[in-house]
Chains A and B, each alone.
Chain A
């Protein structure tokens, strides 16, 4: 199975900050990498697919990059509604695996 490792596991930031979350795959997954946002008690919501494609309706302050084994999710100018948990997920091969999550909290 492909292991996905996110860092950091938690992060404190302020409104207006720029934050970056990284995700590393245990083997090359090309650009088969997706990012999701999950708020407490809610289902996850797709932000980025195929490493860098912004899902329709997602604010442009979210961006994704990377290929191979190393990927990043960047949120430019944090808004209050962005405080949530973020997950990366590989879709290169089954079992599709997720990172452990990064909890983004208000400083």
Chain B
């Protein structure tokens, strides 16, 4: 069974840091692009970051650029999101998602169950 499991969320003060992890299983992790998507409480979905299958070409939304860094360890089948200088508006559930990047087309499937990040003093 293809599965993604996030961890690392929690309560952090503004200006603090967190590192999220996403463990993949049931598929060849190193063959897929991966993404982070977040959802603020009661709000819609916002794409955060993506990374190519080999760990190259990281890309981030402007709102997190310079503060968040996506990375991966294919030997450990794990995706990461290092989040620094956290702001209250970064609060939300963070999902990782797999992307087949099939013939140039991208979609997110499956998604992990999400991990909640709360930035508050």
Contacts and interface: CB of A to CB of B under 8 A. Distances in A.
Contacts of B108: 34, 36, 44, 46, 89
Given A98-B47, A101-B44, A91 B107 contact: yes
Nearest to A31: B105
Interface of B is mostly: loop
Interface in A53-102: 55, 87, 89, 91, 94-101
B47 A97 contact: yes
Interface in B3-56: 35, 44-47, 50
A58 to B, nearest CB: 10
Contacts of B61: 95
Contact of A87 (B45, B62, B112): B45
B62 A95 contact: yes
Contact of A43 (B35, B47, B50, B95): B95
Given A94-B50, A94-B59, A95-B62, A44 B45 contact: yes
Interface string B71-96: 00000000000000000000000010
A98 B61 CA distance: 13
A43 B113 CA distance: 6
Contacts of B114: 43
A91 B105 contact: yes
A45 B114 CA distance: 13
Interface in B94-121: 95, 105-114
A32 to B, nearest CB: 7
A89 B45 contact: yes
